[in-house]
């Protein structure tokens, strides 16, 4: 699947949007929401770890893992290792991020898993974990036969993109849900924090769009990029 366009400009825009997303989510949680804490009597500080880790980990590091095949001027084998390690970091940060949302709920006496966001979130992290294990076993260690690898690759790319787009949508729902909670408890609907949160969600979606564009574009001509 290819658009016939060079991938490098798309990966460059994705990097810039990724940095913007990191800055925005940190400014929101550190400056506007009072900071991050693993243990605190102010339980909101525990919650704040959730959006920070989900965005920086699963979405941005996960997106960089996907585009690493197109963005890095390195040998295929090295890029494979970078792809798998960045996805492992994304998955681990995602699991810790979800754990903090449960920790916050449990310590505040709030019910678990009542929202569409939380249901999709469990789906995303489970599918992401399955995708990682299958990718590792087939493409890395012990590695499938060459026919199994070439038959698996289109499914790996399709399923990987599906899980990733679902993650971006789930993050957007999370921003919406949190902002709605804040507005219902008095936050100014047109105030600077509301704009900041909506803007962070827009940047997240644009980042995801440029990841998908990069995957469907061509690696540089001198790249040793070839299936598997």
Q: What tokens were used for 53?
A: 């880790």
C-alpha of 156 from chain center: 17
CA distances from 172 to 120, 146, 202, 208 (A): 11, 39, 8, 11
Site for ligand HEM contains 87 (CB under 6 A) = yes
Number of residues that bind ligand HEM (CB under 6 A): 49
| Least gap, CB of 50 to ligand HEM (angstroms) | 5
**Judged by CB under 6 A, does residue 155 bind ligand HEM?**
no
Question: Is 161 near ligand HEM (CB under 6 A)?
Answer: yes
**How far is CA 99 from each of CA 49, 92, 102, 165, 178, rounded to the nearest angstrom?**
10, 11, 5, 22, 17
Of 16 and 137, the one with the shorter C-beta distance to ligand HEM is: 137
Least separation in angstroms between residue 23's CB and ligand HEM is 15
CA nearest 207: which of 8, 75, 26, 16?
16
Q: Is 121 in the site for ligand HEM (CB under 6 A)?
A: yes
Instruction: Give min distance, CB of 40 to ligand HEM, in A.
Output: 17
Q: Single out the residue of 16, 23, 78, 122 in contact with ligand HEM (rule: CB under 6 A).
A: 122
55 scored as a contact of ligand HEM (CB under 6 A) = yes
Distance, in Å, from the CA atom of 54 to the CA atom of 32, rounded to the nearest integer, reads 18
Segment contacting ligand HEM by CB under 6 A, of 10-18, 33-41, 62-70, 186-194: 62-70
Told to check if 27 binds ligand HEM by CB under 6 A, we report no
Is residue 56 a contact point for ligand HEM (CB under 6 A)? no
CB 164 within 8 Å of CB 66: yes
33 belongs to the binding site for ligand HEM (CB under 6 A):
no
SS3 for 109-175 is: CCCCCCCHHHHHHHHHHHHHHHHHHHHHHHHHCCCCCHHHHHHHHHHHHHHHHHHHHHHHHHHHHHH
CB 125 within 8 A of CB 94: yes
Q: Are 52 and 34 in contact (CB under 8 A)?
A: no
Q: Which of 84, 89, 194, 205 binds ligand HEM (CB under 6 A)?
A: 84
Enumerate binding residues for ligand HEM (CB under 6 A).
Answer: 50-51, 54-55, 58, 66, 69-70, 80, 83-84, 87, 98, 101-102, 105, 112-113, 115, 117-118, 121-122, 124-125, 128, 131-132, 135-136, 139-140, 153, 156-157, 160-161, 163-164, 167, 170-171, 174-175, 177-178, 215, 227-228
């Amino acid at each position: 699947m290819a658009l016939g366009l060079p991938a490098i400009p798309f990966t460059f825009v994705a990097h810039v949007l990724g940095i913007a997303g990191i800055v925005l989510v940190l400014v929101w949680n550190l400056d506007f929401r009072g900071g991050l804490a693993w243990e605190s009597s102010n339980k909101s500080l525990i919650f704040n770890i959730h959006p920070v880790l989900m965005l920086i980990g699963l979405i941005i590091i996960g997106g960089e893992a996907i585009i690493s095949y197109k963005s890095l001027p390195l040998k295929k084998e090295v890029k494979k290792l970078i792809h798998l390690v960045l996805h492992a970091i994304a998955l681990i940060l995602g699991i810790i991020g979800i754990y903090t949302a449960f920790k916050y709920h449990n310590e505040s006496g709030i019910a678990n898993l009542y929202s569409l966001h939380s249901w999709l979130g469990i789906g995303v992290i489970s599918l992401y974990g399955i995708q990682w294990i299958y990718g590792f076993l087939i493409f890395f260690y012990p590695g499938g036969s060459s026919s199994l690898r070439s038959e698996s690759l289109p499914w790996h790319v399709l399923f990987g993109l599906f899980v990733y787009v679902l993650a971006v949508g789930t993050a957007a729902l999370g921003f919406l849900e949190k902002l709605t909670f804040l507005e219902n408890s008095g936050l100014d609907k047109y105030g600077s924090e509301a704009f900041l949160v909506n803007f962070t969600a827009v940047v997240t979606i644009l980042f995801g769009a440029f990841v998908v564009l990069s995957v469907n574009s061509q690696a540089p001509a001198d790249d040793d990029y070839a299936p598997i």
